[in-house]
Amino acid sequence: MADTWPKHDMQFLAGRRLRRARRTVWSRAMVRETVLTPSDLIWPLFVIEGHNERTQIRTMPGVERLSVDLCVDAAKAARDAGIPALALFPNTPDHLRNENATEAYNPDNLMCRALSAIKSAVPEVGLIADVALDEYSSDGQDGLVRDGEILNDETVAVMVRSALVQARAGADIIAPSDMMDGRVAAIRAALDGDGFDATQIMSYAAKYASYYYGPFREAVGSGSRLVGDKRTYQMDYGNSDEALREVEQDIAEGADSVMVKPGLPYLDIVRRVKDNFNVPVYAYQVSGEFAMIEMAAAAGAIDRKGAILESLIAFKRAGANGVLTYFALEVARELGR
């Protein structure tokens, strides 16, 4: 084929050797378009009761649930590695869960004690508090359930109370992850009315009803008790335009930043949100994504370190301002070297 090209075309192509810039490490670094730094990472932590307690999560190799004192130690490690923020998720004891999720707004609940202890010991690390009822309910749903129906407005009222006790305990960012309609506006009004006008809201604005959440549900203790599914309020994974409507609504209601969840299977959504809205966009590399990398690496199918870095760069390349990832501490330390 090349023998038939006109001579002047051959000369032009000979001058455009795109591989030149890829020949050496230093040259590839010079032309790299997307860069990952520790400040791009948010580290999710699972909190349990006790002192100096840690428990393994069967489906998340290397990830542990930590008691509050060990969460403080983890926050110090995050600070030292350059990670700007932690996202906290409590595993509420069974005897404190009920159908009304009343433990969600107990000012002395596990989440609030963790927020207070970490903020007191490591004030320079930002704290993101998850707001949903699955961590407190006896049925594993993110909302209140009556006669098999997930109640929207009644759920929002409980979430508002939960957000307020979290803000008082030291949360810097309230992160509603339930997908109820109107919860961002209600939480924003309540925070402002209680003197927390500086507290941010990071909305799980495009959260899909995904099969990738299984290990997370085990980690917070909601999976085995889940009755039904979450498809009446979390998004259908066949939809893309709907995600933009959800994001637009949450921004209008007062969200300071928005999140797409899960992550890698939804990079198209990250890109569309970034292109359409002038707000910070975050992605969550969820538990199922984490487990796939770990288990594939353990089986010898992929290079673990390479796959982790490639996956995180993909989020940044798609337009994410940051990534919630269970690999955060390991990667931040590696980048620091």
Residues with a known catalytic role: 207, 261
- How many angstroms separate the first and last alpha carbons of the chain? 48
Q: Is 147 helix (H, G, I), strand (E, B) or coil?
A: coil
Contact residues for 292 (Cβ-Cβ < 8 A; gap 6+): none
Cα distance between residue 11 and residue 85, in whole Å: 53
Cα distance between residue 70 and residue 170, in whole Å: 18
| SS percent in the chain: helix, strand, coil, step 5 | 45, 20, 35
- Helix (H) or strand (E) holding 286, with range, is none
Structure tokens at 154: 């009644």
> CA neighbours within 13 Å on the CB side: how many for 207?
24
Q: Is 230 helix (H, G, I), strand (E, B) or coil?
A: coil
Cα distance between residue 29 and residue 164, in whole Å: 46
Structure tokens at 177: 């992850």
Structure tokens at 23: 């020949």
Q: Give which of 263, 278, 279 is closest to 318, Cα–Cα.
A: 263
